[in-house]
Amino acid sequence: MSKYVRKGVNFNVENEHQRKVFAWAKKKSPKNFSGFVKALLYAAMTAELEQKRDRSDSTADD
């Protein structure tokens, strides 16, 4: 079994929103789209974990 898992991302360039997202991502990461997407996913994951931690901290104070 390979140590890599491949997940494709498709953009419908006829859809304005998706076309803009694709153009922005391509501009930000012309040589490493995969690394850029992984960095965004990591940032979203850590933000979510931080929100959960903040909520649990505030309920512990009640």
| pLDDT score of 56 | 86
Domain boundaries, the chain: 30-62
Distance of CA 2 to the CA centre of its chain: 23
pLDDT in tens, 2-25: 999 999 999 999 999 999 999 999
Distance CA 60, CA 62 (A): 6
Residues 6+ apart with CB under 8 A from 9: 37
Judged against a pLDDT cut of 70, whether residue 61 lies above it is answered with no
Cα–Cα distances in angstroms (integers) from residue 56 to residues 13, 47, 59, 60, in the given order: 41, 14, 5, 6
Q: What pLDDT was estimated at residue 62? A: 60
* pTM (predicted TM-score): 0.75
